[in-house]
Structure 1
């Protein structure tokens, strides 16, 4: 008998993203898993799927085999006492035309495996959702956890700011900056109305925020409280920050609506280098020369496009 509370050691993450998000999604994947893929990533790294705006779900692998039949022979080890279940064929888009599995065959596979499980099947709101998926010539079966779009709940805030990044982008940026939050201290020293802070706090990341503008700090505090998170936001210029952090996240779209000189931009980057070991910078301009001059190494980067035509783009630059 297979006990379902046994810890899986391998996981399959299913992905989906818009075409204009390809670069951002790939950078987040590299940060979280050290590799990138269009639709599926197999890893020993265990993360909550709702952390990412691009992950559809996570399959905690129980069995694998060369065919559905070999999986079926193992599935009959599962015996459920008082829990209902459902078997779901996980749809992916990276199969070639000759490998495509039609809808009717998908249902047959679900049925074949479902009959092998000792327990009560329930199509709507089962206690346990099992998944089956082909990947690189093998089949994988396990418990499937669908992702919840947490960031969508944060879209409508009491306080808005015209230049604030989207909650979806903010969530990806937090994952890029802090792939493993264990024991890390994080700061957003130019936090604005707190879009990054809200996403990080919703993931349980230890982050503080600050901004030299008291009006936006008040808005950030209100937004954090509105979503029932507990976070510290201070009125402070980055130049006055004295503490040291493992990671800093800095959004620098300043000269869209505010006149900021290159000297002021350079100063922000210098202070970021002073207060944090790792910094993720968002910018609409090419700041590579400034970043390198203060002693940073650019370890990875991407372009985050807004809209299908990419009419507005930000660079996301990972510095150490």
Structure 2
């Protein structure tokens, strides 16, 4: 039995060992569940470049028990003057489905490509199709490959050695704002704007502020450097009067912004005042303060870099 309309999407994933928990947290935020494998099947359509962990999205047009059925479906496609290429996605193990050898992948691509009624172009095709074998079933459809936008953001004019990596910042933004439509967000301790740059590059409605005038200037410089537009104000979180759907806070901890336990609690308490949902990034265990401020931790993870650990807490 074959499907001939896009009713599901297949996402292929890769991640570093230290970021496994963060990847799963982002997965749960975006899709509502996580999986043990590096392949997600969902009815939800998400731009793959949003996530630092998603490699590609396959917009499934057809699924079948054997490749011959896929080839017959591909033959029925009307592409007109458009050129195409086909890529087999089994370049690594996908859960229990083992990697397909390169020569066998090329044979799969040829079998489907030769059946299609259009001109192939392996270098600059008008359309790219993907095919993947997963759990003894073949899937075929339009392929959208992810772009590592976060990687381009690594080279900022203004940088702090203790700032979040762009990969972590991008994932945290997705955890906080899985569906940006109609969501107003704030980063009230934005530092040099690592989270702001990632969120703004994904079209999220987010503003920033910070008590330190030097980092406010740095944040503005970084945002402008990447051709983005976003408001960053100087001020303490206690001075914020507007309400937001979500706040993202990387708790200050470096030598230049060392804060006491009382100051940490003040930040969390003020965050509770201005937002119903808050994602906190911390190097210390602050569960008691979060609870005392009136929040419930609904999800969490640990991000490791060598022996250094950060906690990401999703609070409502």
TM-score (norm 2): 0.95
Q: Structure 2: how far apart are the matches of 1:156 and 1:101?
A: 36
Distance 1:177 1:7, change over 3 A: farther
1:3 corresponds to which residue? none
Distance 1:259 1:253, change over 3 A: closer
Distance 1:95 1:230, change over 3 A: closer
Equivalent in 1, 19, 22 of residue 20 of structure 2: 22
1:13 corresponds to which residue? 11
**Cα deviation, residue 94, structure 1:** 2.9
**Cα deviation, residue 312, structure 1:** 0.9
**Cα deviation, residue 103, structure 1:** 2.2
- Give 3-state SS (helix, strand or coil) of 1:204's partner: coil
Q: Structure 1: how far apart are the matches of 2:11 and 2:258?
A: 43
**Cα deviation, residue 304, structure 1:** 0.9
Equivalent in 293, 310, 314 of residue 314 of structure 1: 310
Any gaps of 5 or more consecutive residues in structure 1? 1-5
- Give 3-state SS (helix, strand or coil) of 1:85's partner: strand
Distance 1:239 1:96, change over 3 A: closer
Q: Structure 2: how far apart are the matches of 1:220 and 1:75?
A: 49
1:163/1:253 contact within 8 Å kept: no
Q: Structure 1: how far apart are the matches of 2:301 and 2:110?
A: 43
In the TM superposition, what whole-angstrom CA distance separates every residue of 1:203-252 from its partner, at most 9, and x where no partner exists?
00000000010110011011111111110000010011110000000001
Within 5 A, what are the aligned runs for 1:228-243?
Answer: 228-243=227-242
1:252/1:281 contact within 8 Å kept: yes
Q: Structure 1: how far apart are the matches of 2:17 and 2:138?
A: 27
Q: Structure 1: how far apart are the matches of 2:29 and 2:107?
A: 37
Within 5 A, what are the aligned runs for 1:1-320?
Answer: 8-37=6-35, 38-91=37-90, 92-94=92-94, 96=96, 100-254=99-253, 257-306=256-305, 310-320=306-316
Q: Structure 1: how far apart are the matches of 2:273 and 2:233?
A: 19
- Give 3-state SS (helix, strand or coil) of 1:248's partner: strand
In the TM superposition, what whole-angstrom CA distance separates every residue of 1:37-90 from its partner, at most 9, and x where no partner exists?
231000111111000000000000000011111211211111212211001000
TM-score (norm 1): 0.94
Q: Structure 2: how far apart are the matches of 1:109 and 1:235?
A: 57
- Give 3-state SS (helix, strand or coil) of 2:118's partner: strand
2:240/2:274 contact within 8 Å kept: yes
Q: Structure 1: how far apart are the matches of 2:118 and 2:176?
A: 43
Q: Structure 2: how far apart are the matches of 1:289 and 1:311?
A: 24
